[in-house]
Amino acid sequence: MASVSLRNVHKKFGPITVLESIDLDIADGEFVVLVGPSGCGKSTLLRSIAGLEAINGGEIQIGDRPVTHMAPKDRDIAMVFQSYALYPHMDVRRNMAFSLNLRKSPAALIGERVAEASAKLGLNALLDRLPKQLSGGQRQRVAMGRAIVRNPKVFLFDEPLSNLDAKLRATMRTEIKALHQSLKTTAIYVTHDQVEAMTMANRIVVMSDGVIQQVGPPLELYDRPANMFVAGFIGSPTMNFFDAVIVRGAARLADGSLLPLAPAAWKEGREIVIGIRPEHLHFADQGFPATVTVVEPLGMSTQVTLDAVEERVTLLALERPQLSPGDRKYLTAKAADIHVFDRVSGLRLN
Amino acid sequence: MPGQSLLQRILGQTGLYAAIACYVIFALLPIYWTIKISVTPQDLLYSEGIKLWPSRMTLANYTSVLKATDFPRYFLNSFLVSVTTAVIVTVVASFAGYALSRFRFRGKALVSLVLLLTQTFPLVMVIPPIYRIMGQLGLTDNLYGLIIIYTAFNIAFATFLMQSFLDGVPKDLEEAAMIDGCTRFEALRRVIMPLTLPGMGATVAFVFTAAWSELLFALMLINSESQKTFSVGLLTFVSKFAVDWGQMMAASVMALIPVCLFFMFLQRYLVTGLTAGAVKG
Ligand SMILES: Nc1ncnc2c1ncn2[C@@H]1O[C@H](COP(=O)(O)OP(=O)(O)OP(=O)(O)O)[C@@H](O)[C@H]1O
Ligand SMILES: [Mg+2]
């Protein structure tokens, strides 16, 4: 177990900068999830921590050891690949024992560790099979087993569940979280699945274009996104955005309707963007007008899509509103639920 | 196949097997004929020339090749040259193919291009200069010279062959091995090599066969009896006035034996699909 700290990490592929001055401190035992759109550098960051990519600048420390120039094998980490990367010519037992064998651990210890891990992951019946004789879910478990057998300082996961079907993914998600709670090993987990990020993380790191946008506990990111990118990225269905101007302490939308803002020293005439999560919008007698276009009952909630103020708006209602396409409604939100961003910089203002 | 009547299926199967049989007969007839002539007694060779099998059989050709000629010597020479060449080429080509498959380095495209270009040279063009060079190095008329030349001529193709086999092994595997505690070389030895054994087997077999049956350079560079390879030796059966067909064919059949044994031994490595199950699927 160990903390991980990244100082000013840079990485380029040829002329292209993929990681730009990454600073991150991960506490001992923490479960940190990296999210971001495809190509933003999540895998590259993870692989840099693993030592599979040499970084072009900055420092990486695991525990109290600087590892920037260490080979992967000396960093005492374990990694679970998206493709699982099981050794095809070794059976499950040898796959799991591989790292301990390399370290010349005593056979008794190896046997004990493998037995322990395979019991934990329900692999006992599969120990003598080759990877090609396993299902996708079983391979995933073996990959996990191979990682935990080593008892490493840090676990690295690169989208380990993305090849599984939805149901198995949900099961494995819970299992990995339970595993982390019992092992308490520091973990860094890359995903682009919102639900995985929200449910598993102690803290989420949101990245975009090689830059960290925000770091924080899941609900903090959800409730107080630092900028429009994070606001739009976290949460599904995504947040609704409207261009607005400050008029006497309220937000005036493009069609002239006013929405209340929490009291603050708002500068008259300032150009802003306001963001409202779908579940915070509700129907009212006044607010801004909108026309219902699609109604999608989800059971627990109902998702309503409306056309309003030159924008398409999503509303999530917990009750079951009686609506049909074409209905004219007024929408509003509580002042406390409205996020305010600067229109130029995209930074949060309230 | 669904939607086909029994008759159609039978006809289809018959056609398929007939085609395969034609192909096999076409491919194996020369070998069959070689064997047939090697066991035909001298006096029947011309009188029963076009019969499928002679009325009497003899092993006299084999015994005289083994006892009365230098063939055992030629045989040994060929074997030494071919095995050494195959081993050297495969080892070098494996490392070179690994570098081409895994690393990015300056001039990589150029290296590939030059390797490819060496394959396009007409052999006759390079024979005179090679003869001169080998002569000055004192490498004519000995087996080392042959090994060097065969190695040089096979290495480019073998490198491409190994590169394509290595390209087929997912990069994740060696990265996983390196994280699990291997150096790059250990990862190569413990994970990549076992998975490329079929490829190495194919390369060994290819190079061995090429060296075993090479005639041109062997003929040109070797003069003394003690250094002759078997392909050159076969020509000793052609004298000014006659060809000793029986002994020549007997020697040829014996020359086929190591190649056949070799392929039988390698067959299990030539089975593809060893990497199945490495990654998702
Ligand atoms: N070996 C490489 N050579 C050149 N460019 C690369 C290499 N690996 C990654 N890149 C580039 O670096 C950027 C970041 O890639 P990375 O794999 O880290 O993205 P990611 O966030 O993991 O995306 P995804 O969610 O699709 O896995 C991409 O633009 C990619 O094209
Ligand atoms: Mg990735």
Phi, psi of A292 (to 5 degrees): -65, 130
What is the nearest CA distance from B99 to chain A, expressed in angstroms?
17
Least CB–CB distance from B176: residue in A71, A79, A134: A79
Determine contact: B277 vs chain A, CB below 8 A.
yes
Question: Confidence class of residue B68 from pLDDT cuts 50, 70 and 90?
Answer: confident
Ligand 1 shell residues, CB under 6 Å: A 13, 18, 36, 38-44, 192
Inspect the interface and report whether the beta carbons of B181 and A146 lie closer than 8 Å. no
Dump pLDDT digits (tens) for A68-95: 999 999 999 999 999 999 999 999 999 9
Which of A52, A67, A130 is the best substitution to test chain B (most B C-beta atoms within 10 A)? A52
If 0-12 CB within 10 Å is exposed, 13-18 middle and 19+ buried, where does residue B9 land? exposed
Query: Span A246-255, mean pLDDT?
Result: 91
Give the sign of the dihedral formed by CA B226, CA B231, CA B237, CA B239: negative
> What is residue B278's predicted lDDT score, i.e. its pLDDT?
44
HEC per residue, B52-119:
CCCCCCCCHHHHHHHHHCCHHHHHHHHHHHHHHHHHHHHHHHHHHHHHHHHCCCCCHHHHHHHHHHHC
d(CA A195, CA B98): 40
Query: Which atom from ligand 1 is nearest to the alpha carbon of A190?
Result: 22
Whether pLDDT at B85 is above 60? yes
Nearest CA in chain B to A13: B104
The pLDDT score that the predictor gives to residue B270 is 61
> What integer is the mean pLDDT of B178-204?
91
CB contact under 8 A, A98 and B274: no
Assign 3-class secondary structure to A79-137: EECCCCCCCCCCCHHHHHHHHHHHCCCCHHHHHHHHHHHHHHHCCHHHCCCCHHHCCHH
pLDDT over 80 (residue A311): yes
Distance A202 CA to ligand 2 centre (A): 21
* Ligand 1 pocket, mutate which of A18, A33, A83 (most atoms under 8 A from CB): A18
- pLDDT-based confidence at residue B279 (cuts at 50, 70, 90): very low
pLDDT at B171 over 50: yes
- Please answer whether residues A178 and A144 qualify as being in contact, where contact means their C-beta atoms are separated by less than 8 angstroms: no
Counting residues of chain B whose pLDDT is more than 70, the rounded percentage is 94
Does the domain made of B70-244+256-272 have the CATH classification 1.10.1060.10?
Answer: no
Tokens of B50: 């076009």
Q: Residue A207 CA: which ligand is closest?
A: 1
A128-138 pLDDT, tens digit each: 999 999 998 99
Q: Do A132 and B181 lie within an 8 Å CB cutoff?
A: no
Residue-wise over B80-98: b if at least 16 C-beta within 10 A, else e?
Answer: ebbbbbbebbbebbbebbb
Nearest-by-Cβ selection for B195 from A72, A82, A89: A89
Nearest-angstrom CA–CA distance, B173 and A95: 11
Could you say which DSSP state residue B201 is in? Answer: H
Span from the CA of A46 to the centroid of ligand 2 (angstroms): 9
Residues at Cβ < 5 Å from ligand 2 ion: A 43
pLDDT above 50 (res A48): yes
Instruction: Please tell me the least confidently modeled range out of A193-207, A294-308, B43-57, B68-82.
Output: B43-57
Give the separation between CA A243 and CA A256, rounded to whole angstroms: 11
CA of A13 to the centre of ligand 1 (A): 9
Distance A34 CA to ligand 2 centre (A): 10
Residues of chain A found within 8 Å of residue B194, distances taken between Cβ atoms: 89
**Whole-number pLDDT of residue B276:** 38
CB contact (8 A) between residue A73 and residue B194: no
Exposure of B147 in the CB half-sphere (CA atoms within 13 A): 17
Closest CA of chain B from A71, distance in Å:
8
Ligand nearest to the CA of B104: 1
Residue of A11, A34, A42, A157 to mutate, ligand 1, most atoms within 8 A of C-beta: A42
- Statement: residue A188 has pLDDT above 80: yes
Which 3 state secondary structure label does DSSP give B30? helix
Whether the CB of B177 is below 8 Å from some CB of chain A: the reply is yes
Per-residue model confidence as pLDDT tens digits over A144-160: 999 999 999 999 999 99
Q: How far is the CA of B35 from the centre of ligand 2 (A)?
A: 61
Lowest average pLDDT, out of A13-22, A232-241, A284-293, B230-239, goes to: B230-239
What average pLDDT score do residues A187-200 get?
92
What pTM value is reported for the model? 0.82
For B30-61, how does the pLDDT look when each residue is reduced to its tens digit (9 = 90+)?
999 999 999 988 888 788 777 888 888 888 88
For chain B, the domains span 2-44, 70-244+256-272
CB A259 within 8 A of CB A282: no
Name the residue among B172, B180, B277 with its Cβ closest to that of A98: B180
Q: Chain A contacts of B192, Cβ < 8 Å?
A: none
Any chain A CB within 8 A of the CB of B193?
A: no
Is the CB of residue A239 less than 8 Å from the CB of residue A277?
yes
Residue B277 has pLDDT above 50, yes or no: no
When comparing pLDDT for B12 and B243, which is higher? B12
Nearest chain A Cα distance for residue B194, angstroms: 7
